[in-house]
Structure 1
Amino acid sequence: MKESAVRVPSDLSGKVGSSTTLEETVRPLIELSIKGLERMWMKDQGLFCFTVRDGQNGPAPEGVSLRYTAITLLGLHRAATNGWPVPLDLKSILRQTIEAAPTTRNIGTLALILWAGAALTQKVDPKVEAAIRSHGPFYQEAGNGVYATTELAWLLIAMIEAAEVTTGAERRRFEETAHLAYRLLKRNFNPRSSLFAFSMQLSSSWTRPLRSRLGFFDGQVYGIYSFAQYARHFSDGEALSHAKRCAERICDFQGGRGEWAWHYNVLRGKMVDRYPVYAVHQHGMAPLALKGLSEISTGDYRVEITRGLRYLFGENPLGFQFVDEAHSVIWRSMKRRSPMAKAIYINKVASFVGPTGWISALDHPSLMMIDRECRPYELGWLLFAFSDIPPKKEGGHGPAV
């Protein structure tokens, strides 16, 4: 059988913090991601698919997603900017994405589209901005009444990116909205636990006690990255401090195999559950947040990032290789089999009053399974996080020119 080019070097354990080793590990992942995303582009719709799911006839794409297309554009654009060959017309895909923007009312998706447009064209599309501002001065998701951390973080980043490609009154307008988004997002940050809740600003609902006290990994990483960008743009010490403290907390909760924990009790400052362990957290979202933070601070998270990558190459309870070079995908997650997966709901409630460690008894490999699915945004965030690593020069070891 042909040996995969995508692997962790055998001497990784001796160089776990080495940037050279990290680059050697990541370059093949970048190549795989670009190849995989080319297959995920739905030519007829002009957008990227919602997912690729494994089946009897092999992996096949399903649906389309505006949100995932915007994230994928961000990653592919960064890869192309850093010299990686990208075989897709990104500006054409962006135009199709902007044309489709009126089909969504989700402010997080609109913010991602605005962010992608600013990155690719150095301009702000007025239709996308108008769609965002039609939500009014506050963000409330239809039917939910929440100021959700992930969407607020995307909005904050988008406003900063928009400010940086505009001038005068237009720039000031985006900066004012960035300040508003920051204030709203800060309400979801618990300064005692240094973690972000799903939302501290819920409408009356039976879910309020849970969602105001619990947080997910996505909220932590997007919160860290958005606060870091706010700190960079406005030279804001408070935002930087919050971002660093949250980064330290998620690193505290990183598992012995490098897995990033999925679920937290923000009120008590404790982990609720590690599972599911999502591949995108290992190769995309944690690196995005930690690298983004280290660019503006003294923090060095290469050890934690590298440990996270090792999980994907067999250093996990099932010894599973998430990276599938043959199909140009990285499989989505390791999770508990049903009905054991439902235990998380019991543990959410238990986390308010007592210990949660009992759930680790359900972590036996026989109770685990792999979700053989890969979504475009997962590969997009990998590219966004890592494509500052240049491609190797043909026949040499330097960056491409």
Structure 2
Amino acid sequence: MTQLASLDAVDRGATALVERLVGLAPAGLATAYLPETGEFAQTVRGLPGAEGVRVRREGTNTRYAAIAALGLATLPVERQRAVLGGRTAADVARLAAGHAAHGTDPGAVALSTWALAEVAGEYAHSLVERLELLLGGHAPIAAVDLSWLLTAAVAANPLADTDHLVDRAAARLLGHHGDHGIHPHVLGGGPRWRAHVGSFADQVYPVQALARASVLTGDATMLEAADHTAQRLVDHQGAGGQWWWHYDARDGSVVERYPVYSVHQHAMAPMVLFDLLEAGGADHRPAVAHGLRWLDRHPEVVEELVSERFGLVWRKVGRREPPKAARGLAAATTSLRPGLQLRGVDRWLPATRVDHECRPYELGWLLHAWLPRRTQEEACHD
């Protein structure tokens, strides 16, 4: 059963929303694409002007290119070429791997290894060697980067023996799995005043990595840890379906709720929770549907978050505040005592601001989450 069919059994309205978003995503990715170089922008920003609203590409990002390749690979090759100016998702994955090989970003290395294996069916020897070096010592590592490393090792396993990398990455991730299922942002380090804080991404990518690794290895401990973290996130889901932003690794409580990111609602939570279900974990489809519904029902703002005109989903609903003020206050306050909250923060810093940008990885994960992954044989016969 496909993810869409599985969701339809729970909430047909949520399924219709996903179909609408999946239909928009290729246009949005085409807007974020730089055909001259085969790269993807860091962001696409909506801007007002005398002649009306327009969008502007800004910067480039290798991570986002790899994720876009993973998403676009779910489309027929001719559709890929239409979005990518004649290239395919496999071409983009190869280009991203080349950029990652000459960069210093461990997340880009891991994602490019994953994309190259899953999309192009190619094993990136030099990138895997760099991943092995990352695990060679005891230096701090971001939870997201380690999770992507583990998922990359699982993806590459059919092409070469990566069992040792899978085992070492999983062991390190499990070593920082808190009693309440919450991972800190940096494993083995980070500023003291916020070392206890982990974001939503710091939770869902470990769930995905451990779920996929459990399928490969048959290790029930990995699946149990993934289930534990997922349940904690579902327990804290907002009344409007919101997936909250920051959590406390010491007691599993919510540190700061906002911003609510659209990608968490339509792509990251569904992608990861379906991976967990397919691995034999808990069924969280009602929570997936509830999170999706936030995109239409969001109680925080009147403004619509889905831009049919540009094929984009606006990035987040956040507080009206000086940059990162609420996040800093919440981290500092909870560093004194778990669960300690400032009174009146919702009144002083209301969550009424829509961020009019969209990053290509958001649309890449959207396609990757909801459309069936195409085998190499299927791609060759397009």
Structure 2 residue aligned with 1:71: 67
Counterpart-to-counterpart distance in 1, 2:119 and 2:27: 20
SS of residue matched to 1:189: coil
What code does the residue aligned with 2:361 have?
A: Y
Counterpart-to-counterpart distance in 1, 2:165 and 2:145: 14
Structure 1 residue aligned with 2:226: 243
1:287-306 deviations in Å (ceiling 9; x for gaps): 11111101122522221111
Cα distance 1:183–1:29, how it changes in 2: closer, same or farther (>3 A)?
same
Q: Is 1:269 matched up with 2:252?
A: yes
Structure 1 residue aligned with 2:4: none
Structure 2 residue aligned with 1:258: 241
1:253-281 deviations in Å (ceiling 9; x for gaps): 11000010100111022111110111111
Q: Is 1:321 matched up with 2:304?
A: yes
Aligned alpha-carbon RMSD (Å): 2.5
The 5 Å alignment of 1:1-400 reads 18=10, 20-57=12-49, 58-80=54-76, 87=82, 88=84, 89-135=88-134, 137-138=136-137, 140=139, 146-166=140-160, 171=161, 174-190=162-178, 192-202=179-189, 207-211=191-195, 213-339=196-322, 341-352=324-335, 353=337, 355-358=339-342, 361-362=345-346, 368-388=352-372
Cα distance 1:86–1:317, how it changes in 2: closer, same or farther (>3 A)?
farther
What code does the residue aligned with 2:220 have?
A: G
SS of residue matched to 1:53: strand
Counterpart-to-counterpart distance in 1, 2:350 and 2:171: 45
SS of residue matched to 1:59: strand
1:221 and 1:285 in contact (8 A); partners too? yes
What code does the residue aligned with 1:286 have?
A: A
SS of residue matched to 2:212: helix
Counterpart-to-counterpart distance in 2, 1:103 and 1:340: 32
1:333 and 1:371 in contact (8 A); partners too? yes
Cα drift, residue 187 of structure 1: 2.0
Counterpart-to-counterpart distance in 2, 1:100 and 1:163: 22
Structure 2 residue aligned with 1:394: none
What code does the residue aligned with 2:346 have?
A: L
Counterpart-to-counterpart distance in 2, 1:47 and 1:225: 26
SS of residue matched to 1:334: strand
Cα drift, residue 316 of structure 1: 2.4
Cα distance 1:85–1:129, how it changes in 2: closer, same or farther (>3 A)?
closer
Counterpart-to-counterpart distance in 2, 1:136 and 1:344: 30
What code does the residue aligned with 2:142 have?
A: A
> Percent sequence identity over matched residues?
28
Cα drift, residue 101 of structure 1: 2.2
2:97 and 2:109 in contact (8 A); partners too? no
Counterpart-to-counterpart distance in 1, 2:167 and 2:192: 26
Unaligned segments of structure 2, at least 5 residues: 1-6, 375-381
1:130-166 deviations in Å (ceiling 9; x for gaps): 44345462474xxxxx221100000001011111233
1:318 and 1:365 in contact (8 A); partners too? no
Counterpart-to-counterpart distance in 2, 1:313 and 1:125: 41
Counterpart-to-counterpart distance in 1, 2:227 and 2:92: 35
Cα distance 1:389–1:186, how it changes in 2: closer, same or farther (>3 A)?
closer
1:348-385 deviations in Å (ceiling 9; x for gaps): 12224164444564168955211111000011111111
Cα distance 1:387–1:347, how it changes in 2: closer, same or farther (>3 A)?
same
1:16 and 1:306 in contact (8 A); partners too? no
Cα drift, residue 39 of structure 1: 1.6
Cα drift, residue 199 of structure 1: 2.7
Cα distance 1:388–1:321, how it changes in 2: closer, same or farther (>3 A)?
farther
Cα distance 1:136–1:25, how it changes in 2: closer, same or farther (>3 A)?
closer
Structure 2 residue aligned with 1:395: none
Counterpart-to-counterpart distance in 2, 1:304 and 1:267: 24
2:255 and 2:339 in contact (8 A); partners too? no
SS of residue matched to 2:60: coil
What code does the residue aligned with 2:94 have?
A: R
SS of residue matched to 1:258: coil
